[in-house]
Structure 1
Amino acid sequence: MDLYQSPASALDKLVAHNLQPSPEFTAAVRGALGSLDTALRKQGAPGSQRARVIRIAKGGAYARGTALRGGCDAELVVFLNCFRSFGDQKTGRTEILGAMRASLESWGLHPGPGLTLQFSEPKAAGVLQFRLMSADRENWVDVSLTLLDHSVDFDVLPAFDALGQLRPGSRPDPQVYKDLIHSYSNAGEFSTCFTELQRDFISTRPTKLKSLIRLVKHWYQQVFGDFFMLSEGASHVGILQPLQKDLGLSQVAHEEPGEFLLGEGVGHGRLEQASRRREVSFGVASGKSPPNLSPPQPTSLFITPSHLLDTFIKDFLQPNEKFLEQIKKAVNIVCEFLKNNCFKDSSTKVLKAIKGGSTAKGTALKNGSDADIVVFLSSLKSYNSQIEERALFVQEIQRQLEVFRKTQELEVEFEPSNWKAPRVLSFTLKSRILNESVDFDVLPAYDALGQQHPGFTSRPEAYKDLIALCKSSGVKGGEFSTCFTELQREFIKSRPTKLKSLIRLVKHWYKQCERKMKPKASLPPKYALELLTVYAWEQGSGMEDFDTAEGFRTVLDLVIKYQQLCIFWTVNYNFKDEPIRTFLLTQIQKKRPVILDPADPTGDVGGGDRWCWHLLAKEANEWLSSLCFELQSGDSWQRVQPWKVPVVQTPGSCGAHIYPTVGI
């Protein structure tokens, strides 16, 4: 019966009559497994007592109770006393597998009534494979027609006995998983050690769930040619596939097709098309909606071993090229609009439109499409004019953008501002060019720096005017940081690629802390953590290639020591000119932590007691026990140590021969 043409009401009958193995074949295989188990237990390494069988565990679809008629798989995991650790399992298997094959070839002459054995070339190293099948039709037609066209593919795998003898219902020792996490380099490479747990996870489920698994596996086989109304379950799998493709999830290598579909995920285009096609048959025919299940999440950073941090960043945090291309196209659309359309009938001119934010710096995280554009306008001739007139320009840009979208077939959704005099225009942009939406912040600003060129040093006059305004009017520090967007961007963008990857990791950690605490506390800005990361690298490594775990550990160490921090840079401003010199000396004597924006001396993103650094420090201290900071050294494990980084910068340490009498 064709699954695609089966009505929802006939699915149970389809599973029972067409997918479930016959009782005769099941009994024949059970008898063969008994004698196969005996043959393997008698087997040791040739001529020695080096390898003794501790026990044999049955795994695969046959053992889990989800085998399909016509062909299924079974695993025999042979736990040997010569493997004393996960690392031992990687070596010394060739000799053992050779001896096992010799023993099985002898046993295979008489595998059991109605059965024959055929060895096959292994698809992977460290495994012995053979097929147990019903005998030739001509010889066995009088025995049982139900045995015909059945087969079981066996994998015999030698393994380290990580679990030992577990009592029913008991859990493994947590140390087993700690050792596993320290030892593996490829996902699932020691899954054979946990065969009994994998088997029991499925085999203990209700019979009808196992029937649903059979149905999904059969669907999978039809596609590739190789809870409990069945129609609802199958429809759920069909709808989940496109989500998994979008999330970039991959198949777990050692799981049976069909079983992992109900929990993990695949993202094959062909599978997605088939799932959509079959959804018509299952979902519409039954008239029922699929269960609302959340797609799986990426691996937790807390349990990621130190040697896999670079892989974690690449797989889960770094945006793909498609995402970056989407951002580039969206930014170009908005910039062209601002330059050529927005003020074409006005005396106001767009002097330049500068890309800012994490996307422009090269530190954007995956799963976040956002872009900042700072628009420098000719009519904003001072810092004061930026405060007084920017709300009018925000409103004008929005008005012009609403007109522009009609001519360009753009979809623009504006985000309402909570400010009476808005300082930023926030909106979401969609177009025919883009496959996804992009969130924008457009900020009008005074062009304090003027036209820049590579190697440009900022004008001291720009900082002197800013400092004078802050002293006379009480304007908050950092109020005009948008005027220095180019300097902020270049400070990060020019750094080595691996440092920007470390910044991504720190930002991901920060977001985890933020989600845990919101709305309880006001944490320091992310920019403060970015600057701490740059400082940790400058003072502790300075190399383009460095150990990511050490860098991450150093940043957390600085967060923990927040009450001592006094950090600044002199790349754009320094102590040479008054009144900048006096102002900087005042800034670095403020309540700690002090972290000055390298582009804007009035911007202290450390903030003293303005933000809840103590909560972030508490989180950082708890994270020191993470597996991110465990390092294997021979047979033992050591904690990753931070780089030696000073927590206080002084004018003297930056090359200025000035030593204030207080605060440093």
Structure 2
Amino acid sequence: MGNWLGGQSSAGPSGGSLGEPSAGPSWRSSDGLSGGWPDLPAVPAHKLKDFIHAKLKPSEECLKLIDQDVDAISDFLRSSELPVWGVAKGGSYGRETVLRGYSDGTLVLFMGSFRSFRDQKENQRELLSVIEQRLKHHKKYSTSVSLGHTLEVLLSVHGQKILLQVLPAFDPLSGFGEDSSSRIYWDLKSSMDQVRAAPGEFAACFTTLQQRFFQRYPRRVKELVLLVKHWYQECQEKRMTSPSPGFSYALELLTVYAWEQGCPDEDFDIAEGVRTVLGLIKQSSELCVYWIVNYGFDDVTVRNTLLCQLRSQRPVILDPTDPTNNVGKDDGSWELLTEAAEAWLDSPSLNDMSPAQCWNVLPTSLFITPSHLLDTFIKDFLQPNEKFLEQIKKAVNIVCEFLKNNCFKDSSTKVLKAVKGGSTAKGTALKNGSDADIVVFLSSLKSYNSQIEERTLFVQEIQRQLEVFRKTQELEVEFEPSKWKAPRVLSFTLKSRILNESVDFDVLPAYDALGQLYPGFTSKAKAYKDLIALCKSSSIKGEEFSSCFTELQCKFIKSRPTKLKSLIRLVKHWYKQCERKMKPKASLPPKYALELLTVYAWEQGSGMNDFNIAEGFRTILDLVIKYQQLCIFWTVNYNFEDELIRTFLLTQIQKKRPVILDPANPTGDVGGGDRWCWHLLAKEANEWLSSLCFELQSGDSWQRVQPWKVPVVQTPGSCGAHIYPTVGI
């Protein structure tokens, strides 16, 4: 069993917040962190995992012995005629983020005599004195110390020390029931106003929820937390100041947020995680991090409390169990930590590989971005900069030159052209998303059928030639295994000495259906009629050949106003948030469907080069919610004039809704009827209607942004076709 020693407390009525232990003895004392290891910023990136296991994680044996000691003191107090009806373990100890050497912890005693937050406020000090007297009557715990609002006991087991803070508290989960979260947090805010409590003063009451919150996260996330906390402690030691457990908790939450938003895989690269967290620290003036797992926007009082916090001065990192507790509030630490973060990010040890990867995580959430700041949000966080665009250009040039000059030089097959596709070609790429599509039109693919039958061979040949090419060009190429037996696309990651970061590629061999010599509508009509005939005579789906019409797809979007492309970026970012939340549970409609829906909303609702982004975004969500009615198409590349195409189009627009026809390919219905889980996307869209994105301040009041008036159904007549719509259109 461990030794119980008196701790020193600096938290009194005005010396700190309740639930935050003092720094205690020097955290570096006998922690065994030398052993040939340098200070953390000098540890090579590939050695960080070893560093954690060798120097930061406490031994399991020590933790078991400490658990026994904590259970022993709990049992003793329960048997001391005190009205203790439950206990919870908090702090680093309860969150399972204890560092080797010295760490903090709390033992929360839920008292039966506390029937409300007010009872705790009025009677906590008196009860704390009683608990101290009980401990002093037992020789083992007689050296525990109580000062003001805190009772501290130092546990020591084989050099592992935990300063345990003992706190009597009200248990709101038992008082109201765990399913009454709105009632609990409404009562919290009401009680705080009545007794004039400080923000976070009742945080200990929610220790059980805090425990559960951290239990959800995998072991490696907690190891990353240890690394970040140790780095923070090293920074504080250099400044001859003690680390704050409250600020350490803020960094723990920031680390969890980085992992959730950037890489929700249990097995991830520690160095990538560190770079991501350091990058967020550098953006501390923009940080606004929160969770709605325990509280949300449903109850008016809780909503107003939450919105007040989210609108306050950055940085904001809200305790996921207490919406009144901004643990990220700036106390002067952020500026100093930002300098240290920049130094570590620039160090050779953390850049021991090129490119130095990190996750794409924004410092704030779109959901709580006010409507008048959406343009700034897009500019700061979503719009690619010149560096990104130049990066893509260089990478595309490398691949295109390879395809044209090297890939088929000893073959009868010729590359007719290599066309850049996807979001980069359309001008709608998101920042920090270095990906590129290249469609390579080959002379040997002379029909749609030949594309299906032969593309796998060309994918394999391109991969074989690329493997040879990389050996002579100092390229690094990592191929992504295809989930298809007969792959339609070659996916790979490209690195080279002229690139600052890696770029993900999809290369698609395709039949040149439109041809280089046929710029007029006649050639388009023939290409479409051939494709329609193929689809009608077989089970082949027309969207198989969307790559054949890449140039038309890009032209359709690329020619649009800059602000519309900004709105498309915003919608794609929203889509990615939904996708991250649902994967792998659902198959969402393709992003291209949302791009087309955005163009349609703008065409029908605004049509102006300059428009209100919030209104456009609100309109798109409204259309998603009404997905079961959607029937949308364009006649810019095909229309109802040719009889065969007209008959096919009429069949297409009578299919199960939603119907969203690709303007470049009439056989491609990206709406898909019930093929994709539109209902889940609609559910998310409905929840997002309560977002700050759609709140507009008018004087002292707030109004909701209204959508544009946009029809959900297109008919041939609405597109100028002089035919009568068939029943059901």
Normalising by structure 1, report the TM-score: 0.62
Name 2:334's counterpart in structure 1. 260
Measured against aligned partners, the alpha-carbon deviations of 1:17-41 in whole angstroms (never above 9, x if no partner) come to xxxxxxxxxxxxxxxxxxxxxxxxx
Decide whether the 8 Å contact of 2:543 with 2:668 is kept in 1. Answer: yes
Residue correspondence of structure 1 range 38-187 to structure 2 within 5 A: none
Tell me how far apart the structure 1 counterparts of residues 346 and 618 of structure 2 sit (CA, whole Å): 45
- Letter aligned with residue 545 of structure 2: F
SS of the aligned residue for 1:506 comes to helix
Q: Does the alignment pair 1:501 with 2:566? A: yes
Measured against aligned partners, the alpha-carbon deviations of 1:317-357 in whole angstroms (never above 9, x if no partner) come to 22222222111111110000000000011110000000011
Tell me how far apart the structure 1 counterparts of residues 522 and 453 of structure 2 sit (CA, whole Å): 28
Q: What is the aligned counterpart of 1:385 among 450, 454, 460?
A: 450
Q: What is the aligned counterpart of 1:250 among 283, 288, 299?
A: 283
Q: Does the alignment pair 1:422 with 2:483? A: no
- Letter aligned with residue 628 of structure 1: C
Q: What is the aligned counterpart of 2:393 among 320, 328, 331?
A: 328
Q: Does the alignment pair 1:347 with 2:412? A: yes
Q: Does the alignment pair 1:541 with 2:567? A: no
Residue correspondence of structure 1 range 440-479 to structure 2 within 5 A: 440-451=505-516, 459-479=524-544
- Letter aligned with residue 536 of structure 1: A
Name 1:649's counterpart in structure 2. 714
Task: Give me the CA root mean square deviation.
Answer: 4.2
Decide whether the 8 Å contact of 2:632 with 2:660 is kept in 1. Answer: yes
- Letter aligned with residue 591 of structure 2: K
Q: Does the alignment pair 1:314 with 2:347? A: no
Q: Does the alignment pair 1:550 with 2:550? A: no
Measured against aligned partners, the alpha-carbon deviations of 1:612-632 in whole angstroms (never above 9, x if no partner) come to 111111111111111111111
Structure 1 residue 250: deviation in Å? 2.2
Tell me how far apart the structure 2 counterparts of residues 637 and 317 of structure 1 sit (CA, whole Å): 27
- Choose 1 or 2 for highest CA Rg: 1
- Letter aligned with residue 516 of structure 1: K
Name 1:216's counterpart in structure 2. 235
Structure 1 residue 297: deviation in Å? 4.9
Structure 1 residue 260: deviation in Å? 2.0
Tell me how far apart the structure 1 counterparts of residues 653 and 192 of structure 2 sit (CA, whole Å): 47
Name 2:57's counterpart in structure 1. none
Name 2:595's counterpart in structure 1. 530
Tell me how far apart the structure 1 counterparts of residues 602 and 230 of structure 2 sit (CA, whole Å): 56
Structure 1 residue 515: deviation in Å? 1.7
Decide whether the 8 Å contact of 2:282 with 2:342 is kept in 1. Answer: no
Tell me how far apart the structure 2 counterparts of residues 625 and 7 of structure 1 sit (CA, whole Å): 45
- Letter aligned with residue 250 of structure 1: Q
Distance 1:458 1:506, change over 3 A: farther
Tell me how far apart the structure 2 counterparts of residues 532 and 475 of structure 1 sit (CA, whole Å): 25
Tell me how far apart the structure 2 counterparts of residues 481 and 306 of structure 1 sit (CA, whole Å): 36
Tell me how far apart the structure 1 counterparts of residues 229 and 495 of structure 2 sit (CA, whole Å): 44
- Letter aligned with residue 413 of structure 2: T
Tell me how far apart the structure 1 counterparts of residues 31 and 668 of structure 2 sit (CA, whole Å): 66
Decide whether the 8 Å contact of 2:281 with 2:338 is kept in 1. Answer: no
Tell me how far apart the structure 1 counterparts of residues 423 and 401 of structure 2 sit (CA, whole Å): 21
Decide whether the 8 Å contact of 2:362 with 2:381 is kept in 1. Answer: no
Distance 1:295 1:415, change over 3 A: closer
Name 2:476's counterpart in structure 1. 411
Count of residue pairs the alignment pairs up: 457
Distance 1:471 1:244, change over 3 A: same
Structure 1 residue 506: deviation in Å? 0.8
Name 1:159's counterpart in structure 2. none
Tell me how far apart the structure 2 counterparts of residues 468 and 271 of structure 1 sit (CA, whole Å): 61
Tell me how far apart the structure 2 counterparts of residues 661 and 402 of structure 1 sit (CA, whole Å): 54
Distance 1:218 1:468, change over 3 A: same
Decide whether the 8 Å contact of 2:625 with 2:682 is kept in 1. Answer: yes
Instruction: Point out where structure 1 has 5 or more consecutive residues left out of the alignment.
Output: 1-5, 13-168, 177-193, 202-208, 280-292
Distance 1:246 1:326, change over 3 A: farther
Measured against aligned partners, the alpha-carbon deviations of 1:22-72 in whole angstroms (never above 9, x if no partner) come to xxxxxxxxxxxxxxxxxxxxxxxxxxxxxxxxxxxxxxxxxxxxxxxxxxx
Name 1:583's counterpart in structure 2. 648
Tell me how far apart the structure 2 counterparts of residues 548 and 366 of structure 1 sit (CA, whole Å): 18
- Letter aligned with residue 362 of structure 1: G
Tell me how far apart the structure 1 counterparts of residues 656 and 629 of structure 2 sit (CA, whole Å): 9
Decide whether the 8 Å contact of 1:251 with 1:266 is kept in 2. Answer: no
Decide whether the 8 Å contact of 1:352 with 1:376 is kept in 2. Answer: yes
Q: What is the aligned counterpart of 2:549 among 480, 484, 487?
A: 484
Name 2:685's counterpart in structure 1. 620
SS of the aligned residue for 1:647 comes to coil
- Letter aligned with residue 333 of structure 2: E
Q: Does the alignment pair 1:567 with 2:638? A: no
Structure 1 residue 174: deviation in Å? 13
Q: What is the aligned counterpart of 1:396 among 443, 455, 461?
A: 461
Decide whether the 8 Å contact of 1:245 with 1:266 is kept in 2. Answer: no
Structure 1 residue 271: deviation in Å? 6.6
Residue correspondence of structure 1 range 226-375 to structure 2 within 5 A: 243=276, 249-252=282-285, 259-260=333-334, 265=338, 269=342, 272=345, 297-375=362-440
Tell me how far apart the structure 2 counterparts of residues 219 and 295 of structure 1 sit (CA, whole Å): 31
Decide whether the 8 Å contact of 1:590 with 1:663 is kept in 2. Answer: no
Decide whether the 8 Å contact of 1:249 with 1:267 is kept in 2. Answer: no
Tell me how far apart the structure 2 counterparts of residues 422 and 607 of structure 1 sit (CA, whole Å): 22
Instruction: Point out where structure 2 has 5 or more consecutive residues left out of the alignment.
Output: 1-25, 33-185, 204-227, 256-270, 286-313, 316-328, 352-357
SS of the aligned residue for 2:718 comes to coil
Distance 1:295 1:456, change over 3 A: closer
Measured against aligned partners, the alpha-carbon deviations of 1:74-120 in whole angstroms (never above 9, x if no partner) come to xxxxxxxxxxxxxxxxxxxxxxxxxxxxxxxxxxxxxxxxxxxxxxx
- Letter aligned with residue 444 of structure 1: P
Decide whether the 8 Å contact of 1:343 with 1:350 is kept in 2. Answer: yes
Structure 1 residue 662: deviation in Å? 1.2
Name 2:126's counterpart in structure 1. none
Q: Does the alignment pair 1:599 with 2:673? A: no
Tell me how far apart the structure 2 counterparts of residues 615 and 661 of structure 1 sit (CA, whole Å): 31
- Letter aligned with residue 485 of structure 2: K
Tell me how far apart the structure 2 counterparts of residues 174 and 594 of structure 1 sit (CA, whole Å): 53
Decide whether the 8 Å contact of 1:565 with 1:593 is kept in 2. Answer: yes
Decide whether the 8 Å contact of 1:244 with 1:266 is kept in 2. Answer: no
SS of the aligned residue for 1:499 comes to helix
Measured against aligned partners, the alpha-carbon deviations of 1:460-517 in whole angstroms (never above 9, x if no partner) come to 1110111111111121131110000001111111111111111111111111111222
Decide whether the 8 Å contact of 2:419 with 2:551 is kept in 1. Answer: yes
Name 1:639's counterpart in structure 2. 704
Tell me how far apart the structure 1 counterparts of residues 682 and 525 of structure 2 sit (CA, whole Å): 36
Decide whether the 8 Å contact of 1:554 with 1:642 is kept in 2. Answer: yes
Name 2:582's counterpart in structure 1. 517
SS of the aligned residue for 2:690 comes to coil
Tell me how far apart the structure 1 counterparts of residues 339 and 694 of structure 2 sit (CA, whole Å): 31
Tell me how far apart the structure 1 counterparts of residues 472 and 664 of structure 2 sit (CA, whole Å): 39
Distance 1:211 1:423, change over 3 A: closer
Measured against aligned partners, the alpha-carbon deviations of 1:259-294 in whole angstroms (never above 9, x if no partner) come to 2269x85687557558979x9xxxxxxxxxxxxx99
Tell me how far apart the structure 2 counterparts of residues 362 and 195 of structure 1 sit (CA, whole Å): 52
Name 2:93's counterpart in structure 1. none
SS of the aligned residue for 1:384 comes to helix
